[in-house]
Structure 1
Amino acid sequence: MSRTDPDDVTLIGHRACAGQYPENTVGAIERASPHVDAVEIDVRRCASGEVVVVHDADLGRLTDAAGPVADADWDELRDLTVLDSAAPIPRLDEALDAAPDDLAVNVEIKEPAVASDALDAARGAANDVLFSSFHPEAMATLRNRAPEAARALLVADGDAERAVGAATDLDCVALHPPIDLATEPGFVAAAHEAGLRVNAWTAADRDDAERLLAAGVDGIVADRWDLLPGTERSSRD
């Protein structure tokens, strides 16, 4: 059944609404938080061991520096700014501290080895935290260390049977498919039948959001907070 009320859907700001704010930054989280139900942020480890909030493995697109994030110490990263802003790359604990307590946070684990450290960083957060990853081994690590931690398997392609099977084997609570997979006939129904929520990525415009609403997804991961029809959602209830 298609959803008819956009308020039934969880609106998740992709990289804290990367289409509107400097992605994955404290400032983006603060500015997006009045308008969304959750923010999605990406984490990986830098050379000195800190868990940092950055999507790319390499610094070149985001900053004036070059080279892998994994080769840069925190003392170097903290002085860099993201895109054309004055906003620095934050650590995960800093990003969580910036999120209001009633804002859910989706922490995407970009490297399997970061899973345990991301879990430790999030333990003190007041927020509801959902961990997601394309790496099944990251989900397995979290399941084994903290079965109560909410987990979502990211998938890029395939079919509903394989995706649902992989997510249920890992005791996930949700599947995160791309738009084209989420809107395939029967995908959302198969996930729901298995007890999984479906949060689809990444809506860039109103047409994307409309397609996902029609498919009956539970959450829309969006680059902007003003994509749901009839909403220019100015604040959360």
Structure 2
Amino acid sequence: MTSASRDVTVIAHRGFAGRYPENTVAAVEAAANGGPDAGHAPADMVEIDVVPTADGTPVVFHDDTLGGRADGGLTDRSGTVWETDTETVTGARVLGTGQTVPTLTEVLDAIPASVGVNVEFKNPGSDDLAFETVLSGEALAVQADIWRPFTERVLDIVFEYDNDVLVSSFYEAALSTVHEQDRSVPLAVLVASDARAGLDIARRYDCDAIHVALDTVPGTPFFDDASHAVDDLVAVAHDESRELNAYTVRTWYQARRLVGAGVDGLIADYPGLLGSEA
């Protein structure tokens, strides 16, 4: 997928969640392979979320709870994911389809080695996390202790595959524990609103990328000039040799305005938002 003048990375958010049942094997297969049957080009990278079950098995799932969405629930089962056994979690059907919650291994098995994988560290199995917060000293050490066992399990699995991998998270301690285990793993800090905090964390761990909510991107109609906004965010990221990827992109209008503002990648719910199809 390209703009008129440069390449733009297409990252399939949860496996193009607007088109396919999110974070499932069917979604990542379709997003990664594309083609005439799918009706779209393959994504450059597939984004997935990881959380543990009560047994410690990393599964690909976004929410804390199996059925906790206001519009009827993400699956046909209930309970907090990390308090529920693996068999129950992986038997849950997603969004009324025949697709069930997959393990991280099952998802990685389904993605060709030529397609990158953005693994978002969503939750290590705790309600006591410091979201989008710059930490130091004892506070960082305490949070790192919470994340470390999960980080080790996820990376052990990821290292078995040949895909290019990018680890992202809203949580500094998640990135810290990945950096601690293997500094060669590319990192991306996720920013919901506090771009200044995101830049601080990106610098601390020399993150390859910054993933920002689209309303934090200056030079677009979506920009919310709030107290934590950075008016020259695109330029700062590029001056520091970091890619700036925007989420969650759902329309062609958003895609084009974001590319025009200089972002490097679109974390998108739908394929083909810039008009390039298979």
TM-score range, shorter chain: over 0.9
| Cα offset, 1:104, TM superposition | 0.4
Do the aligned residues in 2 keep the contact of 1:115 with 1:142 (CA within 8 Å)?
yes
The AA in structure 1 aligned to 2:119 is V
Residue 224, structure 1, aligned to residue 260, structure 2: no
1:47 and 1:13 map into 2 onto residues whose CA distance is: 28
Q: Which residue of 2 aligns with 1:78?
A: 90
The match for 1:102 among 96, 111, 114 is 114
Q: Which residue of 1 aligns with 2:243?
A: 197
Do the aligned residues in 2 keep the contact of 1:6 with 1:213 (CA within 8 Å)?
no
Residue 137, structure 1, aligned to residue 173, structure 2: yes
1:217 and 1:149 map into 2 onto residues whose CA distance is: 22
Identity %: 41
The match for 1:125 among 148, 153, 161 is 161
Larger displacement relative to structure 2 (28-37 or 8-17)? 28-37
The match for 1:212 among 236, 242, 258 is 258
Deviations 1:171-224 (A, max 9, x none): 211100100112354211101111111111010111110121011111100000
1:7 and 1:226 map into 2 onto residues whose CA distance is: 16
Deviations 1:12-38 (A, max 9, x none): 000000000000001101111122111
The AA in structure 1 aligned to 2:255 is A
TM-score, reference length from structure 1 = 0.92
The match for 1:52 among 59, 63, 66 is 59
Residue 150, structure 1, aligned to residue 162, structure 2: no
Q: Which residue of 2 aligns with 1:25?
A: 24
| Structure 1 unmatched runs, 5+ | none
Which one has a bigger Cα radius of gyration? 2
Do the aligned residues in 2 keep the contact of 1:143 with 1:171 (CA within 8 Å)?
no
1:151 and 1:131 map into 2 onto residues whose CA distance is: 5
CA RMSD of aligned residues (A): 1.5
1:16 and 1:155 map into 2 onto residues whose CA distance is: 20
Larger displacement relative to structure 2 (193-202 or 113-122)? 113-122
Which consecutive segments of 4 or more residues in structure 1 shift more than 6 A? Answer: none
Do the aligned residues in 2 keep the contact of 1:136 with 1:170 (CA within 8 Å)?
no
Deviations 1:130-164 (A, max 9, x none): 000000001000111000001100011124x4422
Do the aligned residues in 2 keep the contact of 1:16 with 1:41 (CA within 8 Å)?
yes
| Cα offset, 1:6, TM superposition | 7.4
2:106 and 2:200 map into 1 onto residues whose CA distance is: 35
The AA in structure 2 aligned to 1:18 is A
Q: Which residue of 2 aligns with 1:166?
A: 201
TM-score, reference length from structure 2 = 0.79
Do the aligned residues in 1 keep the contact of 2:76 with 2:96 (CA within 8 Å)?
no
Larger displacement relative to structure 2 (148-157 or 164-173)? 164-173
